[in-house]
């Protein structure tokens, strides 16, 4: 499986969240009961782990979730990085479903 490419912009010092809905090729929501999802932000070249996204299921039976980062975590992310989303099936099979670059937008108000 080739992961979907999705670049994100993270504002430094602000909370980040993105709603995701998994669908099949016909546009029907995927039932994700029994699945686990993990997502992380890394430096280029996978040298250092910068952050683990918090994954919150909105509706597992319809494959809807949110990935998020706290404002404390976004304060430590450098201007360029990479992220990915790993899906672990009930039988333990692991596949990357999404990946992309991260860019940092500077936040000025404190």
Reported as a pLDDT band with limits 50, 70 and 90, residue 109 is confident
Domain of residue 53 covers 4-105
CA–CA distance, 1 with 96 (Å, rounded to integer): 8
The token pair at 41 is 């932000």
Percent of the chain as helix, strand, coil, to the nearest 5:
10, 55, 40
Give the pLDDT confidence of 87-98 residue by residue, as tens digits: 999 999 999 999
Position 110 in a domain? no
**What CATH number should be reported for the domain holding residue 17?**
2.60.40.10
Position 28 in a domain? yes
**Residue 79 clears pLDDT 80, i.e. is over it:** no
Number of domains in the chain: 1
Q: Are 20 and 64 in contact (CB under 8 A)?
A: yes
Give the pLDDT confidence of 13-61 residue by residue, as tens digits: 999 999 999 999 999 999 999 999 999 999 988 889 999 999 999 999 9
Q: What angle do CA 79, 102, 109 make, to 5 degrees?
A: 55
User: What is the pTM assigned to this prediction?
Assistant: 0.90
Mean pLDDT, range 65-82, rounded to an integer: 91
Position 78 in a domain? yes
């Amino acid at each position: 499986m080739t992961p979907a490419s999705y670049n994100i912009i993270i504002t430094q010092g602000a909370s980040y969240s993105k709603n995701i809905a998994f669908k099949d090729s016909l546009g029907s929501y995927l039932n994700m009961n029994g699945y686990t999802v993990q997502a992380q932000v890394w430096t280029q070249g996978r040298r250092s782990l910068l952050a683990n996204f918090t994954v919150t299921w909105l509706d597992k039976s319809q494959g809807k979730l949110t990935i998020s980062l706290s404002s404390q975590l976004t304060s430590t992310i450098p201007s360029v990085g990479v992220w990915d989303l790993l899906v672990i099936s009930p039988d333990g099979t692991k596949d990357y479903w999404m990946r992309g670059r991260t860019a940092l937008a500077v936040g000025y108000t404190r």
